[in-house]
C-alpha cells in the first residue's frame, strides 16, 4: 500500500484536502506579495501539478486516483 505523499517543501500555509494511496491534493495559501490559493495535485512519480481553481484540481486528483465523480469527497465550505 502506497503512502499519501506529503506536501512540497514550499513556504505557505498547507492544508491536505484529500489523500488516497499514493495521491494527495493540497491547498497552499501563500501570503507573500498578495494572498494566493494554489492547489497541488501530487501523483508520484509525476511532478505535482499546480492549479488555481479548486474544482479543476479536485477533478484532476480524481482522474489520477481513479475516483469517479460519484465516489468523490464533497469539499467542505471554508
pLDDT in tens, 16-29: 999 888 889 989 88
Q: Which residue has the higher pLDDT, 37 or 4?
A: 37
Q: What are phi and psi of 57, to 5 degrees?
A: -65, -45
Is the pLDDT reported for residue 54 higher than 90? yes
Q: Which residue has the higher pLDDT, 50 or 78?
A: 50
Distance between CA atoms of residues 64 and 18, nearest Å: 13
Amino acid at each position: 500500500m502506497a503512502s499519501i505523499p506529503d506536501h512540497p517543501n514550499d513556504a505557505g500555509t498547507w492544508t491536505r484536502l484529500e489523500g488516497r494511496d499514493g495521491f494527495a491534493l493540497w491547498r497552499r495559501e501563500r501570503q507573500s506579495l498578495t494572498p494566493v490559493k494554489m492547489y497541488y495535485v501530487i501523483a508520484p512519480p509525476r511532478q505535482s501539478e499546480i492549479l488555481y481553481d479548486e474544482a479543476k484540481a479536485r477533478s484532476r486528483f480524481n482522474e489520477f486516483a481513479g475516483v469517479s465523480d460519484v465516489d468523490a469527497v464533497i469539499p467542505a465550505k471554508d
